[in-house]
């Protein structure tokens, strides 16, 4: 996401504060909202007029598109409102009205709000890799070598997508999810790191799951996704759509491709990045911004 026009910042700030409206936010509520959006060093409200104050915070973070994206998505998230999806959908429509001149739109991917660009048809949203990705990875993963490896996967995925190698690009997105979840789970859970992963797979009933633990060297992407869900680090819908990306990743096996005869194109790659954004948004909202054990 590129820098937003000053008028867009004004309009979004007015919407979020909603002075005199049914969803008005006081100063302390604005502080809490920025904290829930996982801003780094979120500002303390200084008692000045709220709309200009919030707009100034936007302006100060223009170079950090990831934080602005997370705020826009948080404002549109059903979890933010007691009434849930009914109010969230109303707010999302209002946010999108203000983002339309920027050719941006907040849409739902598996029930999770994700920021995308408006496609050439003027309606269909398109997705790409999450903005400010390296910095966001460094907030989730402490090991710098792992971050370098994950960013290398992203760079090669870009090269594949640009060159028309859409099959390999979708596989690349799936391996990125695998590496991200493995790193986050091992860094933040000592039991998993030492003893391996218990069988919490959702597609298998508890009475039929194996009692053996999977070592980190052999853990499947399916189990990584379901473990993150079982720990409440990602929501069910984000996990479900991560499984869809996992299925695309599995086309690395020629036998699967010969059997199912999928068609890969730029839209396939784009649709895989949407769940990645939802997954990262969940991780950022539910985990502390360090590699320490939880």
Question: Residues 165-204: pLDDT tens digits?
Answer: 999 999 999 999 999 999 999 999 999 999 999 999 988 8
Question: Measured between alpha carbons, how far is residue 171 from residues 52, 161, 175, 247, 249 in Å?
Answer: 45, 11, 6, 9, 4
Question: Do the Cβ atoms of 107 and 113 come closer than 8 Å?
Answer: yes
pLDDT in tens, 214-265: 999 999 999 999 999 999 998 877 788 888 889 888 888 899 889 999 888 8
**What is the DSSP annotation of 158-200?**
HHHHHTT-HHHHHHHHHHHHHHHHHHHHHHH-HHHHHH-B---
pLDDT grade, residue 294 (50/70/90)?
very low
Question: Measured between alpha carbons, how far is residue 160 from residues 27, 164, 249 in Å?
Answer: 46, 6, 14
Which residues, in sequence order, are bridge partners of residue 197?
214
Q: Which pLDDT value is given to residue 146?
A: 96
The residue among 207 and 63 whose pLDDT is bigger is 207
Task: Give the DSSP letter of residue 214.
Answer: B
- Please count the other Cβ atoms lying within 10 Å of the Cβ belonging to residue 35: 10
Sheet of 125-126: strands edge to edge?
104-109, 112-118, 125-126
Q: What is the pTM of this model?
A: 0.69
């Amino acid at each position: 996401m590129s820098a937003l026009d000053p008028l867009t910042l004004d309009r979004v700030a007015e919407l979020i504060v909603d002075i005199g409206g049914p969803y008005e936010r006081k100063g302390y509520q604005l502080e809490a909202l920025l904290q829930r959006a996982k801003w780094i060093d979120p500002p303390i409200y200084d008692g000045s007029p709220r709309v200009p104050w919030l707009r100034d915070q936007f302006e100060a973070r223009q170079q950090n598109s990831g934080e602005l994206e997370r705020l826009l998505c948080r404002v549109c998230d059903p979890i933010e409102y007691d009434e849930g999806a009914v109010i969230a959908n109303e707010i999302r429509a209002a946010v999108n009205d203000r983002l339309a001149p920027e050719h941006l739109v907040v849409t739902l991917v598996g029930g999770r709000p994700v920021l995308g660009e408006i496609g050439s048809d003027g309606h269909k949203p398109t997705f790409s890799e999450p903005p400010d990705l390296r910095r966001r990875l460094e907030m989730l993963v402490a090991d710098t070598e792992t971050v370098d490896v994950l960013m290398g996967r992203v760079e090669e995925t870009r090269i594949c997508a640009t060159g028309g190698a859409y099959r390999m690009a979708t596989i690349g997105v799936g391996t990125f999810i695998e590496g991200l979840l493995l790193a986050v789970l091992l860094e933040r859970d000592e039991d998993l790191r030492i003893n391996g992963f218990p069988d919490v797979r959702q597609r298998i009933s508890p009475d039929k799951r194996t009692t053996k633990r999977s070592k980190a060297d052999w853990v499947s992407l399916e189990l990584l996704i379901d473990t993150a869900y079982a720990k409440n680090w990602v929501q069910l819908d984000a996990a479900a759509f991560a499984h869809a990306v996992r299925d695309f990743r599995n086309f690395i096996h020629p036998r699967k491709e010969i059997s199912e005869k999928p068609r890969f194109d730029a839209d396939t790659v784009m649709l895989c990045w949407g769940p990645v954004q939802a997954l990262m948004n969940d991780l950022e909202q539910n985990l502390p911004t360090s590699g320490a054990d939880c």
